[in-house]
């Protein structure tokens, strides 16, 4: 995923309206080489100073319960057109002998590669209106900022002219991060057998079936704006069951619920000692230890622009329960 996924801001940009434009350069960097053209522009609504992304999740659990939800997420824009100086202010700032040169920094003396000047700005020195210029957040990726500056030149807007129309450009990798962050993986409830009546205790030396009731089996989350979406698919890659007094076991799934006559299980743990010497936790009537089921979820993402699955880092979901472990004492009698 690289830096794009680490940077969790949507690359929402404001595109230029036609005409009125002059400079084709970008502020503060040498754009002698042709920049990479920006990706296709789509047009969702930019709200509250940011972009509204619709996030939907669906999936199911081992008990057959459906997991569905819809929400919206707002993410701040990376770059946009902002209103800048008036024509007169811009002229006085950048003209030869103007404020910039008076401050000792002279673009006309080639002390700086100067792509910031809007070509033909002199013509607007006495015209009422403002320059609209590209502005980017400092934490936006450098390559993206350069591309945006190059493709969004300064515009002079007179009072009777419309301001630059708002449109939005989104990197699907950012939508994938939004989807991943929104993914909800329920923990479920740990069950086990043997489970002695009254205490729920299992027994030392016996295979204890362990399963997670109502655990998710597959989850899909999609983050989208009109015209662009990214989808994260997550599947269970395995589960580790562990507890003090037992060797940890690796299970291929969330276990098999015990039932009378069942032939076997995919997940069982064997306790080597009882919990008689352990403390009694709050809400418990017997000494217990913590039984943990650590599920590992493998996830990948695709998008409307690329169907190739790109792996994401695994997600971990831990479910715990307090379990008592009893010892069965043999009583030998003689006639």
**Mean pLDDT in order along the chain per 10 residues (335 residues):** 36 32 31 32 41 92 87 82 90 86 59 61 94 82 83 91 74 88 91 93 96 92 92 96 97 94 94 95 93 97 95 95 87 53
Give domain status of residue 72, yes or no: yes
Residue that finishes a domain, picked among 170, 199, 219: 170
Which pLDDT value is given to residue 40? 28
Q: Please work out, in degrees rounded to the nearest 5, the angle formed at the alpha carbon of residue 255 by the alpha carbons of 271 and 319.
A: 75
Cα separation, 194 vs 202, whole angstroms:
5
- Give the residue among 23, 20, 22, 19 at the shortest CA–CA distance from 114: 23
Q: How many domains does the chain have?
A: 2
This prediction has a pTM of 0.64
Residue 176 lies in a domain: no
Q: How many residues does the chain have?
A: 335
Give yes or no for a cis peptide into 194 (omega within 30° of 0): yes
3 state DSSP class of 38: coil
Q: Which domain holds residue 249?
A: 185-326
Do 257 and 295 belong together in one domain? Answer: yes
Is 178 domain-assigned?
no
């Amino acid at each position: 995923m690289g830096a794009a996924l680490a940077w969790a801001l949507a690359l929402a940009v404001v595109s230029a309206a036609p005409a009125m434009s002059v400079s084709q350069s970008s502020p503060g960097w040498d754009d002698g080489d042709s920049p990479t053209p920006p990706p296709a522009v789509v047009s969702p609504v930019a709200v509250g100073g940011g972009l509204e992304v619709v996030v939907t999740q669906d999936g199911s659990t081992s008990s057959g319960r459906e997991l569905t939800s819809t929400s919206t997420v707002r993410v701040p824009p990376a770059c946009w057109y902002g209103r800048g100086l008036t024509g007169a202010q811009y002229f006085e700032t950048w003209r030869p002998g103007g404020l910039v040169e008076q401050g000792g920094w002279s673009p006309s003396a080639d002390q700086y590669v100067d792509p910031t000047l809007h070509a033909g700005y002199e013509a607007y020195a006495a015209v009422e209106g403002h320059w609209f210029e590209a502005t980017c957040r400092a934490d936006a990726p450098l390559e993206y900022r350069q591309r945006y500056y190059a493709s969004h030149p300064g515009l002079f807007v007179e009072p009777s002219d419309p301001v630059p129309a708002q449109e939005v450009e989104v990197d699907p990798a950012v939508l994938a991060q939004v989807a991943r962050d929104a993914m909800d993986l329920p923990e479920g409830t740990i069950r086990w057998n043997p489970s002695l009546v009254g205490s729920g205790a299992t027994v030392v030396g016996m295979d204890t079936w362990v399963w997670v009731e109502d655990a998710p089996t597959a989850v899909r989350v999609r983050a989208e704006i009109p015209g662009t979406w990214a989808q994260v698919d997550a599947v269970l890659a395995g589960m580790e069951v562990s507890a003090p007094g037992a060797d940890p076991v690796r299970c291929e799934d969330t276990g098999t619920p015990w039932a009378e006559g069942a032939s076997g299980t995919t997940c069982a743990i064997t306790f080597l000692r009882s919990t008689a010497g352990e403390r009694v936790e709050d809400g418990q009537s017997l000494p217990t230890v913590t039984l943990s089921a650590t599920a590992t979820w493998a996830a990948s993402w695709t998008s409307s622009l690329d169907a190739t699955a790109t792996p994401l880092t695994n997600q971990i979901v831990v479910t715990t329960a307090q379990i008592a472990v009893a010892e069965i004492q043999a009583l030998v009698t003689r006639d």
